[in-house]
Amino acid sequence: MGETLLPQTLFLAMVGGYAATAAALVVPQSPRLSRWVGAAGSTIGASAGLALAAAVLVTGTPFVAQAPGILTPAGGLLLSLDRLGALFLAVLSGVAIPASVFGLGYTAGYGGRYSLGWMAFNTGGFLLAMSLVVCAANVITLVLAWELMALASYFLVVTEHDDPAVTRAGVWYAAMTHAGLLAILAAFFLLGAASGSTGWSFGELRSASPSLSPVVRNAVFLLALAGFGSKAGLVPLHIWLPRAHPAAPSHVSALMSGAMVKLGLYGILRVGLDLLGVGPLWWGTVVIGLGAASALVGVLYALVDDDLKRLLAYSTVENVGLVCLGIGAGMVFRSLGDLEASALAFTAALLHVINHAAFKGTLFLAVGSIVHATGTRDMNRLGGLARRMPWTTPVFLVGALGLAALPPLNGFVSEWLLFQSFLPGVASSRASIAVLLTLGVGTLALAGGLAAATCVKAFGISCLAIPRSSRAEAAHDAPGSMRAGMVALALACPALAVFTIPLLRTVTSVLGELMAVPGAWPPPNAGFTVQAPGVDARMSPVAILVVLVGVLAGVWLAVRLLASRRRRTGETWGCGRIVQTPRMQYTATAFAEPLRRVFDELYRPADDLIVDVHPDSRYFIQGIEYRSRLPRWFMRFLYGPVVQAVVWAATRTRTLQSGSVNLYLAYIVAVLVVLLGLTIGF
């Protein structure tokens, strides 16, 4: 009895914890108390959510709850947390705990300027909505939770609502997320109507979908891909990410990037892998194409951006692309009937979801700490933080190494698996598949290399050398709660790499629930080896960690023991220059310049060089001004016309609203007549 009640208790604790953040609203004018209530509620809720997810993942028994009385015509609220949902619940709760702890200190700066109670309430609501999305087991529950998530996150994005740039970002976010919702609604209405079921529960949809006509199935898949893809940030629907992430408070960015974006991927998996079952070959091809485009566009824009949070947002687009490459490859292999390769690709994708949540969450928290300390996100105004922020800098470094997919951290493990999952297809006997997956491998390699360069830039320019502005010079490290949150999440990065094997088993059990996984997968692992089927590749994250730590310790010891103890401290060699100023340092723009030149054809930057010479002689230069802008191609060619059309239509529609009551009465009469006519007519 006690066992069966445990998930229920955990679920109630999760909902209760998140709901308790509402108490922050009624705390009368005490920012301090609001912060504590918000952080405590979110942390309790997220801990309970993590425990619930763990219980479902371990036992494999889905947690089921329902409230048929609510919204009966639409099938009532129906919750069922299976392993796929539990995996995503674990990811989002795992990010939510450190982010909430971090938020306790981070939001202190907002006291007096913005309502902290409202913020705490929205954070709780946002987390609750995300948790309900993965629990939803019928269409109405999913859509309600999805919209609640969109609203709560919108309010969080526009926290700093007195900044016009932030409200503009909010408008973009709201527009994109609702356009996505429209596509999702269309997909589910189509699927629900075609399935002929009454409650539109996922179980009914799942059993009905194989017998549907290919046209309906294709339409449902494409609509769901567009709808969930807009939340995941797939190119060309990624446009809101680089706007909303810099605008939102940093712990919210961590939640959005680490957790919410993943729910878009959850939706794609839920529809494409679970509800619709095995699809035609081109579904996977489309997903691979979108994934490759996202990976490249994301990393190319991340590379040249000087705004730390926008850089991270673009890098999220890249990583979502990488996950979609894995999902697409899995779908392709599944359509071809190669279940072993398919399982490997899906495993790699899901593993990367988990790992990306860890290192990107870490990075957003570290950047949040930098913004908190310096008040700027512009890398060209930072620098020299390594000395001034001894806690934030290592955390940033760990996150950046994870993002750069370098061993021994977790990003390396999942990207390595992604590579391995593409390799069986490269040797495929079907030429089109072989070419497609070979291009996929190339994309992975290019994105990986550019991501590493991006990380060197982000970390090197922000943290090393000397400060480029007085605010960076006066930087101080974060208060205790922020440190605790970001260090905890940073420690998760190496931990996820070390515990790859248990993680792989969990992910495999998730897949086993959705598709027939061959018995040979996962292969019997010898010790700590990650072994991939189809290709004979072995890798052990633990062995790499041990060797790396050993080598580093050896070098350190050798230097300690053998090198001369005598030390002389001098200034950095600057070619004997008399004064050295921070302006002589490498800038973020300059660091990215060589690569920007390589990809000139894609960026097509608009550069202006204005040289101001002395009126008497052109050899005496009085001033040089250099300006460089990257045109926003997606804005100009894709969204520009759409926005124009919407504005045009809205202007035309406005003529209906003349302000005259008589006219409005005429409208009402006209509608009444039409309706009566229709009723009589039928």
Partner 1 sequence: MKLFAKIRQVGLATEPLGPTHGRAGDPDPVELVRAIDERSRKVIGRSVAIRQVDAGSCNGCELEIGALSGPVYDLERFGLHVVASPRHADLLLVTGPVTRNMEVPLRKTWEATPDPKLVVAVGECAESCGVFAGSYAVAGRVADVVPVDAVVRGCPPTPTDILRGILAALGKVPHG
- Gap between the Cα atoms of 511 and 332, Å rounded: 16
| Span near partner 1 by CB under 8 A; candidates 8-16, 205-213, 486-494, 569-577 | 569-577
> How far from 271 is each of 210, 276, 398, 552, CA to CA, in Å?
13, 6, 34, 47
| Pick 519 or 570: Cβ nearer partner 1 | 570
Q: What letter would DSSP give residue 307? A: B
Backbone angles phi, psi at 613, to 5 degrees: -100, 165
Q: How far is the CB of 579 from partner 1 (least distance, A)?
A: 10
Query: Can residue 573 be called a binding residue for partner 1 (CB under 8 A)?
Result: yes
The C-alpha angle with vertex 130 and arms to 128 and 131, in degrees rounded to 5, equals 65
User: What is the smallest separation between the CB atom of 586 and partner 1, expressed in angstroms?
Assistant: 17
Instruction: Name the token pair of 275.
Output: 């509800």
Site string for partner 1, 139-178 (x = CB under 8 A): ----------------------------------------
> What does residue 608 show for φ and ψ, rounded to 5 degrees?
-120, 130
Distance CA(299)–CA(324), nearest Å, equals 15
Closer of 571 and 601 to partner 1 (Cβ): 571
Residue 3 binds partner 1, judged by CB under 8 A: no
Does the footprint of partner 1 cover residue 570 (CB under 8 A)?
yes
The C-alpha angle 357, 358, 364, rounded to 5 degrees, equals 80
Among residue numbers 400 through 419, which ones bind partner 1 (CB under 8 A)? none
Given the complex with partner 1, which of 1 and 578 has the nearer CB atom? Answer: 578
Among 29, 470, 524, 568, binds partner 1 (CB under 8 A): 568
| Interaction between residue 577 and partner 1 (CB under 8 A) | yes
For residue 510, give the amino acid letter.
V
Nearer to partner 1, 569 or 655 (CB): 569
The smaller minimum CB distance to partner 1, of residues 567 and 618, is found at 567
CB of 575 to partner 1, least distance (A): 8
Mark 208-229 as b/e (b = at least 16 C-beta within 10 Å).
Answer: bbeebeeeebbbbbebbbbbbb
Report how far apart, in Å, the C-alpha atoms of 543 and of each of 35, 348, 409, 530, 550 are: 43, 20, 12, 11, 10
CB 316 within 8 A of CB 233: yes
CB of 577 to partner 1, least distance (A): 7
**Binder to partner 1 among 162, 571, 608, 612 (CB under 8 A)?**
571
Phi, psi for 63 (deg, rounded to 5): -85, 125
Q: Among candidates 90, 180, 80, which has minimal Cα distance to 132?
A: 80
* CA distances for 374 relative to 106, 161, 235, 660, angstroms: 13, 20, 32, 54
Q: 1 vs 559, which CB is nearer to partner 1?
A: 559
Nearest to 84 by CA among 278, 271, 288: 271
Residue among 164 and 576 whose Cβ is closer to partner 1 = 576
Binding segment for partner 1 (CB under 8 A), chosen from 387-395, 465-473, 523-531, 573-581, is: 573-581
**Sole window of 252-260, 261-269, 392-400, 572-580 interacting with partner 1 (rule: CB under 8 A):** 572-580
| Integer Cα distance of 651 and 647 in angstroms | 6
Instruction: Report in angstroms how near the CB of residue 566 gets to partner 1 at its nearest.
Output: 8
Is the Cβ of residue 68 or residue 574 nearer to partner 1 in the bound state?
574
Listed ranges 49-57, 407-415, 563-571, 631-639: which one lies at the site for partner 1 (CB under 8 A): 563-571
H or E element, residue 225: helix 214-232
Shortest Å, Cβ 562 to partner 1? 14
Told to check if 576 binds partner 1 by CB under 8 A, we report: yes
- What does the alpha-carbon distance between residue 223 and residue 189 come to, in Å, rounded to a whole number? 11
- Give the residue from 91, 49, 126, 81 showing the smallest Cα distance to 353: 91
Torsion 39-42-44-46 (CA) sign: negative
Residues contacting partner 1: total by CB under 8 A: 10
Report DSSP letters for 403-452, one per residue. Answer: HTT-TTSHHHHHHHHHHHHHHHHHT-SSHHHHHHHHHHHHHHHHHHHHHH
Segment contacting partner 1 (CB under 8 A): 254-262, 448-456, 574-582, 644-652?
574-582
Binding of residue 559 to partner 1 (CB under 8 A): no
The span of 123-131, 354-362, 385-393, 576-584 binding partner 1 (CB under 8 A) equals 576-584
Closer to partner 1 by CB, 526 or 575: give it.
575
Residue 573 CB, nearest distance to partner 1 (Å)? 5
CB closer to partner 1 out of 568 and 583: 568
Residue with Cβ nearer partner 1 (576 or 681): 576
> Quick one: which segment of 42-50, 307-315, 552-560, 565-573 binds partner 1 (CB under 8 A)?
565-573
**Alpha carbon distance, N-terminus to C-terminus of the chain:** 57
Site for partner 1 in 218-257 (CB under 8 A): none
Judged by beta carbon, residue 112 or residue 576, the one nearer partner 1 is: 576
Q: Which tokens belong to 477?
A: 């490290």
Q: Does 565 bind partner 1 (CB under 8 A)?
A: no
Which phi and psi angles does 61 have, rounded to 5°? -85, 120
CB of 587 to partner 1, least distance (A): 22
Q: 201 has which bridge partners?
A: 138
| Span near partner 1 by CB under 8 A; candidates 238-246, 337-345, 390-398, 562-570 | 562-570
CB of 572 to partner 1, least distance (A): 9
69 makes contact with partner 1 (CB under 8 A): no
Residue 615 interacts with partner 1 (CB under 8 A): yes or no: no
The one among 5, 526, 562, 578 contacting partner 1 by CB under 8 A:
578
Residue 191 and residue 275 in contact, taking contact as beta carbons nearer than 8 Å: yes
- Rounded Cα–Cα distance for residues 425 and 435 (Å): 9
What letter does residue 586 receive in the DSSP assignment? P
Residue 29 or 569: the one with the smaller Cβ distance to partner 1 is 569
- What residues line the site for partner 1 (CB under 8 A)? 566, 568, 570-571, 573-578
